[in-house]
Structure 1
Amino acid sequence: MSMDLLNIARTGVLASQSQLAVTSNNITNANTQGYHRQVAEQSSLESQRFGNSFYGAGTYVTDVKRIYNDYAARELRIGQTAMSQAETTQVKMSELDQLFSQIGKSVPQGLNDLFAGLNSLADLPDDLGIRGSLLGNADQIAKALNQMQSHLDGQMSQTNDQISAVTDRINEISKELGHLNQELMKSQGSDSQLLDKQDALIQELSQYAQVNVIPLESGAKSIMLGSAAMLVSGQISMQMGSTAGNPYPGELRITATTGDQSVAVDPAKMGGSLGALFQYRDETLIPAQLEMGQLALGIADTFNKAQSQGFDLNGNVGSDIFLDINDSKMSVGRVGGFETNTGNAALRVNIDDVSALTGGSYELTFTAPATYELKDSDTGTTTPLTLTGSQLTGGDGFSINIDSGAFASGDRFEIRPSSGAAAGIKVVMTDPKGIAAAGPTITADSANSGNTAIALNAMDASAPGFPGVGAQITFEIDTTTNSYEAFDAAGTSLGTGTYTAPTIDAFGMNFDVQSSAGALADRFTFDLSAAEGNNSNAVAMAKLNEAKLMAGGSSTLSDVYENTKLEVGGKAKAAEVALGTAEAVHSQAYARVQSESGVNLDEEAANLMRFQQAYQASARIMTTANEIFDTLFSSVR
């Protein structure tokens, strides 16, 4: 029995020593990120029979177990993904909100200054100083839009850099997980330190994208990102990549590569900070850029049209103040062809009616033999287009010209009508005398029915038959047959014609006919004299500040910017609220993991004392056994 006592004491000392080692390791790693608490599990040695009784033979440590709750870890990963996504969104939206609220305030201020300058010009239409100042105001709003677009381009570049940085880190983690899986296969997943490293990497990975973990019998884990791409399969690591966008190269996309095969990954399925970056770029940043382009088109088109309705100080029909809205510098990026296209059609988008623009984007598809469809990316509405010659019509304020080449069935193009305008807008007028402050006088004949009215859209001095500044031209309009006849000041007929209601475009005069009922011969006379001090066109231009010129007649020029600013501000506030919610969920999940897998120093300190006492007690058994031996030996001497 004394020999048994020594063996029992020995097993107790060894077991207590193991318990002390595990407890000490827990204490020293209490602040180690990703460490999971370990527990040494003990069992009794098989009993031994002496006579008719069974006696215990001691204890041994069966396993050093890593405390890990798979469900709690999965909940934490989900919480981490949601929090990272919300955090990235909040940061990006806050940056954009600051951009519109602070730097962008020069846009509405510049627009206000431009209209204030027009009011001053209306008071003194011949003052060259005021005219020069007005051109300066026009240049100010153009440069404010240029600057705003430049900052938005900077946001795009920064977002692309962040996407590249995230994918690079994902690739590093993928390689590390592949190596860890290889090592874990050797130990059949029993090395706690390797498992902690693996779990820490997976937890970090969940910041960047949604992670699905697939445990393998070998102890390794396969990893999927966002249910869209396999990142790690056993010891094989895949690679994520960022490549040029399709159809716009400057808008990066991500791919998953295995060997020599690469496939595009849908960022909408990624989640995490990576998904948030794509969501911010595609759903907020690009629309904001297009809306700034819409405003630039509205400003340039509105004032250029207004110029064509009046006369300058040189006695000419007013010329453009801003670059023409369909100039190549104002239309960069309006069309993007997808890589899968097999045709060679070269397209150009022409803005026909700025007021009808939505500020959105569209997808143009061609199906042989002759089906052209335009799908609104925001509403999903599909509109058939009509091909006349080489022009496709039916878009919201724009038409599409096929400059060269031909479509192939299945070809797709992204159409962004307002793209490039905010970067391209600039003042082209250099002579202050060119501002058309004077306007023609339109007189309705006293014998008219009263059922019609007209509104001048533009004058074109280069058009055939234009009577010239200082002359008169009278139109006799029959709204029942949509026909007209024009007369000069002497009453001589200049010719007849028909028109498509409501617009008559003849003899260099473009105007709309507004009819409440049929009229056979209502006459309207245009006096094209540019009298000194005439300010009628300057007054009309100043009133454009309050005119509903945009978005189908529902918004003023100022409203376009303010609506974008409010939308960005609303999203920024929503992102802030969402972040608070996500942080609370993550905190709860983290607390649950810590309650099970984390090290509680108070508990470990108590265990340390308990195992120390057990060690001392086992050692005391050995002393007792030794004393028994001594007594036995002494008794037989």
Structure 2
Amino acid sequence: MANILSTGTSALLAFQRALSTVSHNVANINTPGYSRQQVDFEARSPQFIGAGYVGRGTQITDVRRVADELANARVIDSGGELARLQQLSSMSGRIDSLMSESTTGVAGLWSNFFDSVSALSSNASAPAERQNMLGQANALTTRFQQLQGQFDQLSKEVDSGLAASAGEVNRLASEIAALNGRIGSAQTAAPDMLDRRDQMIRDLVALTGGTAVQQDGGAMNVFSAGGQALVVGVQASQLTVIPDSYRPERQQLALQTQGQTIRLDERVMGGRIGGLLEFRSQVLDQTQAELGRIALALGTTFNAGHSAGVDQYGDMGGAFFNIPAPVATGHAANGGTARFSASVADIAAVDGRNLVLQFQGGTWSATDALTGAAKTVTGSGAPGDPLRVGGIALSIDGTAQDGDRFLLQPTAQAARGLAVAITDPGRIAAAAPVQVQATLGNLGSAKPSAVRIVDAANPALRTPSTIEFLDANQYLIDGDGPYPYTPGDTVSANGWSFVLDGIPSAGDTFTMAATAPGSSNNGNAALLAGVDDRAALNGGSLSLNGAISGLTTAVGSAARHASYAAQAQATLHEQATTARESISGVNLDEEAANMLRLQQAYQAAAQIISTADTLFQSLLGAVRR
């Protein structure tokens, strides 16, 4: 009778605990990362009664979670990559919006400015047209500055995101390490604690990318995408942000472990942190540099053309735009006193990419700051022989020591500093500095074309000159010559040139004279109106208009590529999550069936105990009689 009661009690307790497990599963159906739990039963050791063995009921051997480590690993890996791509896509989309929207982009104001230059070339003496050109120029430079300001704000957001993410990484890593210590062996650990650790690992990898590896004893070690150990057993490393060695205003990530601070290579980080760093280096910095290159090319080429003209006061034109110089900053660990003064030597050779200059063994070398590719360096750096690299000239002041490094940013800050240099509309050099006229008594059919300025710096440029044809095949310039002439040849001297349309006759003369103040001549304005179509970049193969279009297209392409990649990865992550849920997820239909089955078993066990009690009461009654 005692055996019946013991057997019924064991079943009652086992089924009660199994029902508690089922109810626990149902209660956590919406808990992120929860793995359903399952109760394992086994028969208790039987009792030998001489004639054989009699069973003694059941007992629970384990309450375990239903999990597949491979499925969990897939979710961890795909989650880290998805977080990286979503972060990259989100930030890249903001850059694309800035550059492509008509209200924030530069393309519309760029067209307005050159339209105003073209309008001035049609009416060079009109005050309204001059004022409009100045207004459009100011609007264009303001837009460049606004875009640079937006880029700076995005850079600050990246810095803030890195700092916040580092704090979250440290919290998660510390809690995972603490759980490793509490869990001990995975075989004896509480299922809920294992789920909690797995969820934290997923959250950590979503920030840094990387993998989780189980070591002997059940602890989980977590490594970043670059292989840096974040958690090893009960030890957690700490992420921190440190100032960039070249640009202190910019933050970099570093790992603090075993008393050392190790700067992390931003190219090998994953997760949301990797997305932030990739956005900054591959999208933000590149867009900023290219926008600066366009601003630099605009200022350089437009100034060159403007300085070749004459304003309404009869003076040669000066700079129309103020252009900032390239920036070269030293590494924080430099030991020498060297400083660089940088200027643009050849705008066609400037590609806008940041370069690292290093002094070693008495010579300077240069590498691409992003890829590490070597760049050609010429010159010594002395004032009369500057270093030349990537279209930039650099003069050195002070003395460099071996190992000293500098970051050269040819165009990164150019958009911020581009500004209109003049305020007086009369100072716009719309006129050509000299004009050529045919003498009224000429007998030939030759007519001079517009004067082209070959060398605006020639001191004799505006000196009056007379071109006299001895016959149709030779001419004198101010009595010098004769020079041979064939129809279509260019006549040039003192920094100017022109071409005759028609055939000159003997005795025909043409006079070259300085353009008078207040002239309505539009020769230089007509040339300035075509600056945007001039192939000034990429070695003379890319126009400014092409560069503007190319920048907008490149930014849009990068944003679309990141968006498509994020969408594809979201599908892969959903598949991995679905695969895990098919194994570990709670199924209400299945749990309802289990609950019904266990409820019936529990009631049956209770009936066994009731039967035992009835038998015992019958026995007591018989004894009393």
Q: TM-score range by the shorter chain?
A: 0.7 to 0.9
The count of residues paired between Structure 1 and Structure 2 equals 580
- Cα deviation, residue 490, structure 1: 6.5
Deviations 1:394-450 (A, max 9, x none): 422211111x2222223322222112110001111122221112214588xxxxxxx
The answer to whether the 8 Å contact 1:184/1:194 transfers is yes
Q: 1:478 matched to which residue of 2? A: none
Q: 2:389 matched to which residue of 1? A: 395
Over 3 Å counting, the alpha-carbon distance change for 1:615 and 1:189 in structure 2 is closer
Between the aligned partners of 2:193 and 2:294, the Cα distance in structure 1 is 57
The answer to whether the 8 Å contact 1:306/1:458 transfers is no
Between the aligned partners of 1:187 and 1:142, the Cα distance in structure 2 is 64
The answer to whether the 8 Å contact 2:113/2:133 transfers is yes
Deviations 1:219-249 (A, max 9, x none): 4323222243222233332211112123222
Deviations 1:333-372 (A, max 9, x none): x213233433331112210122222122222222203353
Q: 2:540 matched to which residue of 1? A: 553
TM-score by length of 2: 0.86
- Cα deviation, residue 93, structure 1: 1.3
Over 3 Å counting, the alpha-carbon distance change for 1:189 and 1:304 in structure 2 is farther
Between the aligned partners of 2:430 and 2:346, the Cα distance in structure 1 is 24
Between the aligned partners of 1:525 and 1:357, the Cα distance in structure 2 is 41
Q: 1:543 matched to which residue of 2? A: 530
**Unmatched 5+ residue regions in structure 2?**
437-450, 468-475, 482-492, 498-509
The answer to whether the 8 Å contact 1:212/1:227 transfers is no
- Cα deviation, residue 143, structure 1: 1.0
Between the aligned partners of 2:549 and 2:104, the Cα distance in structure 1 is 10
Over 3 Å counting, the alpha-carbon distance change for 1:226 and 1:397 in structure 2 is same
Q: 2:108 matched to which residue of 1? A: 109
Over 3 Å counting, the alpha-carbon distance change for 1:581 and 1:372 in structure 2 is closer
Q: Does residue 405 of structure 1 match 2:402? A: no
- Cα deviation, residue 103, structure 1: 5.6
Letter in 2 for 1:614: A
Secondary structure at 2:525 match in 1: helix
Secondary structure at 1:459 match in 2: coil
Q: 1:363 aligned to 352, 356, 364, which one? A: 356
Q: 2:456 matched to which residue of 1? A: 459
Between the aligned partners of 2:575 and 2:253, the Cα distance in structure 1 is 32
Letter in 2 for 1:385: T
Secondary structure at 1:40 match in 2: strand
Between the aligned partners of 1:625 and 1:374, the Cα distance in structure 2 is 89
Between the aligned partners of 2:186 and 2:552, the Cα distance in structure 1 is 58
Between the aligned partners of 2:269 and 2:466, the Cα distance in structure 1 is 66
Over 3 Å counting, the alpha-carbon distance change for 1:71 and 1:283 in structure 2 is same
Between the aligned partners of 1:168 and 1:114, the Cα distance in structure 2 is 48
Q: 1:353 aligned to 329, 339, 346, which one? A: 346
Between the aligned partners of 1:360 and 1:21, the Cα distance in structure 2 is 64
- Cα deviation, residue 282, structure 1: 0.2
Secondary structure at 1:549 match in 2: strand
**Unmatched 5+ residue regions in structure 1?**
444-453, 475-486, 493-505, 512-523
Deviations 1:233-280 (A, max 9, x none): 333322111121232223321011136421111222221111011001
The answer to whether the 8 Å contact 1:75/1:589 transfers is yes
Q: 2:293 matched to which residue of 1? A: 294
The answer to whether the 8 Å contact 1:374/1:384 transfers is no
Between the aligned partners of 1:385 and 1:375, the Cα distance in structure 2 is 16
Q: 1:625 matched to which residue of 2? A: 612
Q: 1:479 matched to which residue of 2? A: none
Q: Does residue 224 of structure 1 match 2:216? A: no
Spell out the pairing of 1:196-215 with structure 2 (5 A cutoff).
196-215=195-214
Between the aligned partners of 2:329 and 2:408, the Cα distance in structure 1 is 7
The answer to whether the 8 Å contact 2:309/2:317 transfers is yes
Q: 1:495 matched to which residue of 2? A: none
Q: Does residue 253 of structure 1 match 2:252? A: yes
| Aligned sequence identity (%) | 27
Over 3 Å counting, the alpha-carbon distance change for 1:555 and 1:388 in structure 2 is same
Spell out the pairing of 1:416-565 with structure 2 (5 A cutoff).
416-441=409-434, 456-460=453-457, 466-467=459-460, 469-472=462-465, 489=478, 527-530=513-516, 532-565=519-552
The answer to whether the 8 Å contact 1:355/1:552 transfers is yes
Q: 2:557 matched to which residue of 1? A: 570
Deviations 1:27-81 (A, max 9, x none): 1121222222111211111122222322212111111112222111111001111
Secondary structure at 1:545 match in 2: helix
The answer to whether the 8 Å contact 1:184/1:218 transfers is no
Secondary structure at 2:98 match in 1: helix
The answer to whether the 8 Å contact 1:12/1:615 transfers is yes
Between the aligned partners of 1:539 and 1:187, the Cα distance in structure 2 is 80
Between the aligned partners of 1:525 and 1:419, the Cα distance in structure 2 is 48
Spell out the pairing of 1:261-300 with structure 2 (5 A cutoff).
261-300=260-299
Over 3 Å counting, the alpha-carbon distance change for 1:309 and 1:235 in structure 2 is same
Between the aligned partners of 1:176 and 1:68, the Cα distance in structure 2 is 22
Letter in 2 for 1:88: Q
- Cα deviation, residue 106, structure 1: 4.9
Over 3 Å counting, the alpha-carbon distance change for 1:253 and 1:106 in structure 2 is closer
Q: 1:343 aligned to 336, 343, 351, which one? A: 336
Deviations 1:100-141 (A, max 9, x none): 111665522222222222222222222222222211221121
Spell out the pairing of 1:110-129 with structure 2 (5 A cutoff).
110-129=109-128
Q: Greater CA deviation, 385-394 or 303-312? A: 385-394
Secondary structure at 2:420 match in 1: coil
Secondary structure at 1:439 match in 2: coil
Letter in 1 for 2:130: R
Over 3 Å counting, the alpha-carbon distance change for 1:374 and 1:60 in structure 2 is closer
Over 3 Å counting, the alpha-carbon distance change for 1:609 and 1:198 in structure 2 is same
Over 3 Å counting, the alpha-carbon distance change for 1:261 and 1:572 in structure 2 is same
Between the aligned partners of 1:525 and 1:61, the Cα distance in structure 2 is 114
Q: 2:505 matched to which residue of 1? A: none
Q: 1:604 matched to which residue of 2? A: 591
The answer to whether the 8 Å contact 1:177/1:201 transfers is yes
The answer to whether the 8 Å contact 2:176/2:197 transfers is yes
Over 3 Å counting, the alpha-carbon distance change for 1:398 and 1:458 in structure 2 is farther
- Cα deviation, residue 621, structure 1: 1.7
Over 3 Å counting, the alpha-carbon distance change for 1:611 and 1:188 in structure 2 is closer
Q: Does residue 66 of structure 1 match 2:65? A: yes
The answer to whether the 8 Å contact 1:471/1:529 transfers is no
